[in-house]
Amino acid sequence: MIKEKAYAKINLFLNVLSKRLDGYHEMEMVMAPLNLHDVLKFEKLEEDKIEVVTNKEITAKYTDNLVYKVASFIKSEFEIESGVRIHVEKNIPIAGGLAGGSADAAATIRGLNRLFGLGMNTEKMAQLGVGFGADVPFCVHNKLAIVRGIGEKLHFLNTKFKTYVLLVNPKVPVLTKSVFENLDPKEFGQKNYTNLIEGLKDKDISRVINNLYNFMEPTTFKLEPKVKELKDEIQEMGTKGVLMSGSGSTIFVICRKKKLLEDIIDGLSENYLTIITKTF
């Protein structure tokens, strides 16, 4: 049996530059991996089939799950005749903007590469992942990075950004497709991440906090007002370093002091899903 950890991520910066002719969007992001992770276990089956077992229902049909789609593609691409059973232990909130599905897809690529001895290096695995989502190549690597294009262009930052992160999920799923469909093209590409990158390199958390940005927030807030209400509630406590991750619905707070994040949890008015984790 092979085991892989599928790490969540947060977007410290997320900008949309343009919509491409193929329907995808050109992105510019700064992403950091989190210790929070799902656990995937892989074992060979004699029968030529794919079994996906999860502790939480991810999709209505298991064949719609990214894990199944990735496994099916790899089996076909490499002409693998034996079957595989994949057990997914979900800890990352589903449809929460934390790349839970992409992380599982990336872990599936890594896990099957090891299980069947496919010989792919990390770059090859990341390239394979592009077709399954913008966050998958990043999740193959799990390193602080600037991510461009549709997720395939990765520039790793030669620095570590280690801090506590509070994740607060309002328990409303947000569909990434809906957010992209409702973005305002007139606002594309009006921010840059220079100050944020300098803050990361200097390990200046105040500068990082002051330059957090997510272009998708206004659109998600219109589609799911509860996400905006949650962010407002946290900021009204006097909290800094608050941002929505990805297309939502998770709001995160970065802070060096774990106790301050615990105080935020105590001050929340509703029974939100809360997780304290770390970047690495």
At residue 135, does pLDDT exceed 90? yes
Question: How big is the chain by its Cα radius of gyration, in Å?
Answer: 19
What mean pLDDT is predicted for residues 74-89?
A: 97
Integer Cα distance of 275 and 142 in angstroms: 19
pLDDT (tens digit, 9 = 90+) per residue, 13-66?
999 999 998 888 999 999 999 999 999 999 999 999 999 999 987 776 778 899
Q: Which helix (H) or strand (E) holds 78?
A: none
238: left (phi over 0), alpha (psi -120 to 50) or beta: left
For the entire predicted model, the pTM comes to 0.95
Domains of the chain: 2-156 (3.30.230.10), 164-278 (3.30.70.890)
pLDDT (tens digit, 9 = 90+) per residue, 263-279?
999 999 999 999 999 99
At residue 262, does pLDDT exceed 80? yes
Q: How far apart are the first and last CA of the chain?
A: 27
For CA atoms 137, 6, 102, 229, the dihedral sign is negative
Q: Please give the share of the chain, as a percent, with pLDDT higher than 90.
A: 91
Q: Which helix (H) or strand (E) holds 36?
A: strand 25-45
pLDDT reported for residue 56: 83
The β-bridge relationship of strands 83-89 and 213-214 is unpaired
Largest CA distance in the chain: 58
Instruction: Give the C-alpha distances (Å, rounded to integers) separating 225 from 68, 139, 220, 231, 232.
Output: 33, 29, 8, 10, 11
At residue 76, does pLDDT exceed 80? yes
- 249 cis-preceded (ω within 30 degrees of 0): yes
pLDDT (tens digit, 9 = 90+) per residue, 139-171?
999 999 999 999 999 999 999 999 999 999 999
What mean pLDDT is predicted for residues 92-118?
A: 96
Integer Cα distance of 244 and 98 in angstroms: 10
pLDDT reported for residue 24: 87
Integer Cα distance of 195 and 160 in angstroms: 16
The overall average pLDDT reported for the chain is: 96
pLDDT reported for residue 60: 66
pLDDT reported for residue 169: 97
pLDDT (tens digit, 9 = 90+) per residue, 190-229?
899 999 999 999 999 999 999 999 999 999 999 999 999 9
Instruction: Give the C-alpha distances (Å, rounded to integers) separating 127 from 26, 31, 109, 231, 253.
Output: 17, 18, 11, 35, 31
Active site residues: 9, 135
42 in Cβ contact with 2 (< 8 Å) = yes
